[in-house]
Each structure stands twice: as structure tokens, then as C-alpha cells.
Amino acid sequence: MIQPSFPHISTPTGAVPAGAPAWNQQRHSQMPSHRYADVYSRVEVPTIERDWPTKRLTAAPLWVPVDLRDGNQALAEPMDPARKQRFFELMVAMGYKEIEVGYPSASQTDYDFVRLIADTNIAPNDVTIVVFTPARRELIERTVAAIQGISNPVVIHLYTATAPTWRSMVLGYGQEDLKQLILSGGRDVLEFAGDMKNVRFEFSPEVFNLTEPDYVLDVCNSMTELWDARPERPVILNLPATVEIATPNVYADQIEYMHKNLARRDSVILSVHPHNDRGTGIACAELAILAGAQRVEGCIFGNGERTGNVDIATLALNLHAQGVDPMIDFSDIDEIRRTVEYCNRLEVHPRHPYVGDLVHTAFSGTHQDAIKKGFIEHRARAQAEGRPEREVEWKVPYLPIDPADIGRSYDAVIRVNSQSGKGGIAYLLESEYGIELPRRLQIDFARHVQRHTDATGSEVTATGLWSVFQQVYLQRDTQESRIALTSYQISDLEGEARVELVLDVAGQQHTSSHDGVGPVEALASVLAVHGIPVDIVALHQTSVGVGSDSEALTLLEVRTEEGIFWVAGQGRSVLAASMSAVMSAALRCSV
Ligand SMILES: CC(=O)SCCNC(=O)CCNC(=O)[C@H](O)C(C)(C)COP(=O)(O)OP(=O)(O)OC[C@H]1O[C@@H](n2cnc3c(N)ncnc32)[C@H](O)[C@@H]1OP(=O)(O)O
Ligand SMILES: CC(C)C(=O)C(=O)O
């Protein structure tokens, strides 16, 4: 019996589930899953004729970043005024036109930030300012005090939880009492701010996704009636998945039910606010848009309570990746990430969609091979179409978008470790040093690199690859070498080349002259005379480096009785590189 190496984890040994086919060997575990009620007994899914499964995403929704409120309230250290302002200015620069700036009745920092907006011009006129409040009269009054003097459009966002557990356990109300509390909050909003021409209203039935559909519909309709929603002054109904609890299709059904049954639908902006407890916040938001949602609240890179608010950067870039303008500028995503990390004091994961450090990088051989071929095809197509590479359709395998669209270079697209193959290795040498390896040498070199990465266990950079290449292929003469090429010269004898060579063999100088042959052939023949046959199968010329500093690199494939090997020679000229390559081959053949 195999001893368990994880003493606190027990390999499931229980019964095979009833009816499981013979090929399914999974057993019942000891996880206490029975403690969690079946989701469909907790969520009332409305019965509807679904239209969302056949819809397509064709336009960006209205985006509302809530980093300064919902994101901020989830931070161990809420943002100080400088961080709030920096984040706000970033959002404005990116093109967000509606921004939830805080919960002004909750803290002096939030209140003061709203006052900063009132007293300065940090908010351009076309940016709508959203402020958040619970349905408590004194807090609504303070919220309205905070927005006095703001000339921008303002949204007062009122919320109260409506789901059964929250109603009974947290707020201590039944359905009707709670509706009255909400309406009373709605009336307070009207009393304090109803006359403010620049103000619109938003209502969120918190934990919408766990609330009975008919009840939440009734509450929402009562609010739009109370606030007299009209097309010219629409009310925002924001339907949060405050804690994700079911699969995204359930949320989509719930949203479509509201979309199809809300009163004054043309005077309602239907908004969603998914969280990410099940890791499906993005899917919930996307399906909700298919189901009729027009507006999405979330956080840039997905900070927020517990597992976060839905990530509106990923949502926007998902649209971009399918040909839809996200209406937000992500062309310098690393600057956006740096600012968001500074403000939240939280790091973005290296695998985070689009923005993570590793998300455009391939380590594995077959991916690298495909990407390399994809780049070659892309450049060729751009050239054939006579258009800039940034304009032609993107089809590079494994890269959903062109990293350049979001300000990334191609430097990190391919990185080499023990999982890599010839394609990636060749790509790095070529992109970093301009060295073009023929396919058979790629295969040979990959074996050497593999030995190196297996031995070190770590990644190898382009510089590292070049040094492995030099060690393997660029042999140099040593003191012990029995042969050395002392000098060579090529002269033109009435159109015919003459090659003159001086070879040092075991301390003896041998001069020879060769007419009508190339220098490589001449040197090979004189080496053969001295008992060192160098049988060259193929010769390739490339270069190392770019511009005037570049050197020639000659790559030789050589046959011996033991098999094929490769050597290289480097020099200021093609001739120097070639002679050096042949001498490298000779040194290998003479040992
Ligand atoms: C899903 C969301 O993100 S909701 C937003 C959550 N954000 C925050 O809580 C951050 C800011 N909050 C705060 O600073 C504080 O909670 C404050 C200042 C708003 C209120 O503080 P306190 O008055 O000390 O109340 P506390 O937070 O302890 O409790 C909340 C009270 O408000 C009630 N309440 C909670 N939500 C609401 C609501 N939306 N409308 C009306 N009453 C509410 C609760 O039932 C509780 O009442 P009780 O004291 O009679 O039991
Ligand atoms: C009240 C709303 C908007 C909210 O933050 C949530 O439900 O998560």
C-alpha cells in the first residue's frame, strides 16, 4: 500500500457514485459538501423564453468603475486622498464617463474627495459623478451635502439588501416592511436632491441574485415610479450578484426576466454589478449584457470584496479581442497597472488576463513554434497587402490580441526553459541577435539548450543562449592546436580568383596557392592533404548583431564517419567568418 504523503488529505476511498460507468474510478470524498444547500433551492430562477443564448456582443456597455467605492471598501488600507485622486485621474484619462467616487457618508476621506470634485476642475464636464448611500435618512442627507456645488452630472446611488437571508438576519424586516424602508429612502433622496437638475438616481437591490424575482421586480418598479423615471431622466436599476452563487446562465435568466418585465423599460438603464466568488464574474457580466443589461459596474483588474468585483479591464479587452471598440483606452496597460497597484497597494497576478506579466509569454516548444510561424505569416501578409503590421488582421496562434495594442513589446513573448523547443530558441536568437539558424541547426542547437536547461532547471535568456551557442559551435584555436591558419589572401587574376594560404601544421608553415576555387574549398583541400578531411555538407551565412557593429557568422554542417556535426565561425567579414568556421571544423575533425 502506498503511504500517503499528505497526512491531512485522505484519498477518497468511499463508494463509487451510483450508476458511474466502469471507466470512472472517482470515489465519494469526505468533503462536507452536504452542508451547502442545492443552489436551485436557494435561487429562484424565473421561467422565461430565453433570447440571450443566441445574442451576440456587438457594442460596449456603459462602464462604471467602482474602484473608489466598492474596491476601496475591500482594501486593508483604504486609499488616502492622494491615491484616490490619482486613481480618479487615471480613469478620466482612460475615457470613463461615469465614475463612482465614494461613499461620502461613510468617512471623512470619502466626503472630502467629493468636495474636492466640487471645488476643483479634476472632473471634466462630461464625466458623471456617482455617490453611494444606504437607505438611511441621516446618511442620505450627508451624501447630498457632499455633492452641493458639483456642476457635473451626478448620480445618487441608493442601495438596500433585498434577499431573504439579508432581510431577516441582517435588517430584521419582512418583504413589505423592507419595501417601505426602501421607498422611504427613495423619498428622502427626492426631498434632499429632487430639485437638483444635474442629479439622477440609481437603486441597487443588494444581493439581487438571491432575491425572489417577483419581489425584486415589484420593488424596482416602485422605485422607478417614485422617482418618475422618464426617457430624458432615466433611473438606473443596478442588479448586483453581490455574492456569486450560481452558474452564469442563471444570472442571465434573472437579468432577462427583469429586462422583459420591468415597467418604464425605456426610462430605465439596466445595470449589472457582478462579483467573482465562483470565478465567473466575467461570464456573468457578458451573459447579462446578452440578456439586456446596458451598464456594467466593476473594478479595473477586479479588486473588490472577497474575490473581487468583476474586472472591467478584462471585459473591455474581451470586446477588443473580438473586434468591438471597448470605448476605453488600454494602449498603455502597464502604466494603468502600475497606477492601480500603487492606489490599491495590491499586486496584479502574473497570469491576470491581458495585463499579467506572463500572459503574452510562451515557454512551451509547440506554442513558441506556432507563434514564430504566426509572426512570419503576419509580416508577410502585411507586406503583401502593403499595409502597416498594426493594421492587418491578427491571426497569430496562442496570442488572442497583438501585445502591441496594449503597449507591450514582443520581447517577452517567447522565453526559453526546459519546456521549450527549437522554434522558440531560434526566435530568441534571431530577434535579439539577428542570427538566422537553418532548420537542421535549430534541431541540433535545441538539444544542447535542452541539456543546459535540464542541468540548471531555470530559464535561459537570449544572452544565455548566445553564450551556449558560442561554447558549442565557436571553437577557438588553442595553444595545443596542431593546426592553425596563419594567413590567407585572395587576389584577382584576370577575372579568376587565386587563394593563397599559409597553414601551420605541428609548427611547420605550409604555403599553398589555389586557382579557380573558392576560399572554403581551397582550405578544405589543403587540410585534406595534411590528413584532416573536412567534408562540408552545407554552408549558411548569417550575421550577429545589427547595423555597422554586426559581424558575419558562417554556419557549417560537416559529415564525418561518426555522423553530422555543426560548427560556426565569426568574423568582421564573410571571408573571415568562413575561414574561421572551416578551421573550427578542422579542429573538431582532428581530435
Ligand atoms: C454590498 C456593498 O458593498 S454595501 C456597501 C458596504 N460598504 C460599507 O459598509 C463601507 C462603509 N460603511 C461604513 O462606514 C459604515 O457601515 C456606516 C458609516 C455606513 C454605518 O456605520 P454604523 O452606523 O456604525 O452601522 P453598521 O455598519 O455597524 O451597521 C449597519 C446598520 O445599517 C443597517 N443597514 C445596512 N445596510 C443598509 C441599507 N442599505 N439601508 C438601510 N440600512 C442599512 C444595518 O441593518 C445595521 O443596522 P442596525 O445597526 O440597526 O443593526
Ligand atoms: C450594493 C451594490 C451595488 C454592491 O456593491 C453589491 O451588491 O456588491
Query: Residue 13 has what pLDDT?
Result: 82
Question: 257 by DSSP, 3-state: which?
Answer: helix
Better-scored residue on pLDDT, 222 or 431:
222
Probe ligand 1: pick from 66, 111, 136, max atoms within 8 Å of CB? 136
Query: Residue 8 has what pLDDT?
Result: 84
Query: Residue 394 has what pLDDT?
Result: 98
**479 pLDDT exceeds 80?**
no
At 582, is the pLDDT very low, low, confident or very high (cuts 50, 70, 90)? Answer: very high
Q: Which atom of ligand 1 is nearest to the CA of 171?
A: 45
Pairing label, strands 551-560, 235-241: unpaired
Alpha-carbon distance of 129 to 122, in angstroms, equals 11
Please tell me whether 360 is known to bind a ligand.
Answer: no
- Cβ(109) to ligand 1 under 6 A? no
- Determine the distance separating the centroid of ligand 1 and the alpha carbon of 217, expressed in angstroms: 24
**What is the gyration radius of the CA atoms in the chain, in angstroms?**
35
Please tell me whether 249 is known to bind a ligand.
Answer: no
Q: Point out the least confidently predicted range of 130-134, 251-255, 479-483.
A: 479-483
Query: Residue 140 has what pLDDT?
Result: 98
In this structure, which amino acid lies at residue 443?
I
- Determine the distance separating the centroid of ligand 2 and the alpha carbon of 308, expressed in angstroms: 11
Q: Whose CA is nearest to atom 5 of ligand 2?
A: 70
pLDDT, one tens digit per residue, over 245-294 is: 999 999 999 999 999 999 999 999 999 999 999 999 999 999 999 999 99
Q: Which helix (H) or strand (E) holds 585?
A: helix 574-590
- Cβ(242) to ligand 1 under 6 A? yes
- Determine the distance separating the centroid of ligand 2 and the alpha carbon of 110, expressed in angstroms: 17
Alpha-carbon distance of 449 to 437, in angstroms, equals 14
Q: What ligand has the least distance to the C-alpha of 155?
A: 2
For residues 288 and 23, the answer to whether their CB atoms sit within 8 Å is: no
Question: 508 by DSSP, 3-state: which?
Answer: strand
**312 pLDDT exceeds 70?**
yes
- Crossing angle of helices 519-529 and 574-590, in 10° steps, is 20
Q: Which atom of ligand 1 is nearest to the CA of 242?
A: 1
Q: Whose CA is nearest to atom 1 of ligand 2?
A: 206
Pairing label, strands 563-571, 551-560: antiparallel
Query: Residue 12 has what pLDDT?
Result: 85
Q: What is the 3-state secondary structure (H, E, C) of 271-340?
A: EEEEECCCCCHHHHHHHHHHCCCCEEEEECCCCCCCCCECEHHHHHHHHHCCCCCCCCCCCCHHHHHHHH
Q: Whose CA is nearest to atom 8 of ligand 2?
A: 242
Probe ligand 1: pick from 113, 137, 171, max atoms within 8 Å of CB? 171
- Determine the distance separating the centroid of ligand 1 and the alpha carbon of 210, expressed in angstroms: 19
Strands across the sheet with 563-571, in order?
A: 535-544, 551-560, 563-571
Question: 365 by DSSP, 3-state: which?
Answer: helix
Q: Which atom of ligand 1 is nearest to the CA of 160?
A: 39
C-alpha cell of residue 394: 491578427
Please tell me whether 309 is known to bind a ligand.
Answer: yes
**2 pLDDT exceeds 60?**
no
Alpha-carbon distance of 303 to 326, in angstroms, equals 20
What's the whole-number mean pLDDT along residues 13-38?
90
DSSP3 helix / strand / coil % (the chain, rounded to 5):
40, 20, 40
Query: Residue 536 has what pLDDT?
Result: 96
Query: Residue 75 has what pLDDT?
Result: 98
C-alpha cell of residue 79: 486609499
- Cβ(70) to ligand 1 under 6 A? yes
Q: Which atom of ligand 1 is nearest to the CA of 172?
A: 45
**578 pLDDT exceeds 70?**
yes
Please tell me whether 275 is known to bind a ligand.
Answer: yes
- Determine the distance separating the centroid of ligand 2 and the alpha carbon of 343, expressed in angstroms: 21
Query: Residue 66 has what pLDDT?
Result: 98
Q: Whose CA is nearest to atom 2 of ligand 2?
A: 206
Cα 233 to chain center, whole Å?
Answer: 38
At 47, is the pLDDT very low, low, confident or very high (cuts 50, 70, 90)? Answer: confident
pLDDT, one tens digit per residue, over 358-414 is: 999 999 999 999 999 999 999 999 999 999 999 999 999 999 999 999 999 888 899
C-alpha cell of residue 573: 567579414
Residues composing the chain: 591
Query: Residue 478 has what pLDDT?
Result: 61
- Determine the distance separating the centroid of ligand 2 and the alpha carbon of 159, expressed in angstroms: 7
pLDDT, one tens digit per residue, over 327-353 is: 999 999 999 999 999 999 999 999 999
ipTM over 0.85: yes
Scanning the structure block, which residue is given the C-alpha cell 431573504? 164
Q: Whose CA is nearest to atom 6 of ligand 2?
A: 242
Q: Point out the least confidently predicted range of 171-175, 215-219, 258-262, 493-497.
A: 493-497
Better-scored residue on pLDDT, 547 or 294:
294
Alpha-carbon distance of 92 to 98, in angstroms, equals 9
At 4, is the pLDDT very low, low, confident or very high (cuts 50, 70, 90)? Answer: low
User: Hey, how many other C-beta atoms are within 10 angstroms of the C-beta on 246?
Assistant: 20
- Cβ(110) to ligand 1 under 6 A? no
- Determine the distance separating the centroid of ligand 2 and the alpha carbon of 274, expressed in angstroms: 8
- Determine the distance separating the centroid of ligand 2 and the alpha carbon of 39, expressed in angstroms: 21
Q: Which atom of ligand 1 is nearest to the CA of 240?
A: 1
C-alpha cell of residue 52: 440571450
pLDDT averaged over every residue in the chain: 95
Q: Please state the φ and ψ torsions of residue 493, each to the nearest 5 degrees.
A: -105, 90
For residues 43 and 36, the answer to whether their CB atoms sit within 8 Å is: no
What's the whole-number mean pLDDT along residues 8-36?
88
* CB-defined site of ligand 2, < 6 Å: 70, 159, 204, 206, 238, 240, 242, 273, 275
Q: Which helix (H) or strand (E) holds 253?
A: helix 248-261
**164 pLDDT exceeds 90?**
yes
Query: Residue 546 has what pLDDT?
Result: 77
Q: Point out the least confidently predicted range of 11-15, 73-77, 299-303, 476-480.
A: 476-480
For residues 35 and 26, the answer to whether their CB atoms sit within 8 Å is: no
- Determine the distance separating the centroid of ligand 2 and the alpha carbon of 215, expressed in angstroms: 18
Probe ligand 2: pick from 157, 159, 182, max atoms within 8 Å of CB? 159
Probe ligand 2: pick from 70, 269, 270, 303, max atoms within 8 Å of CB? 70
Query: Residue 525 has what pLDDT?
Result: 96
Q: Whose CA is nearest to atom 24 of ligand 1?
A: 106
Query: Residue 65 has what pLDDT?
Result: 98
What's the whole-number mean pLDDT along residues 558-563?
92
Q: Whose CA is nearest to atom 3 of ligand 2?
A: 204
Torsion of CA 227, 230, 231, 233, to 10 degrees: -50
Pairing label, strands 235-241, 199-206: parallel
- Cβ(134) to ligand 1 under 6 A? yes
- Determine the distance separating the centroid of ligand 2 and the alpha carbon of 206, expressed in angstroms: 5
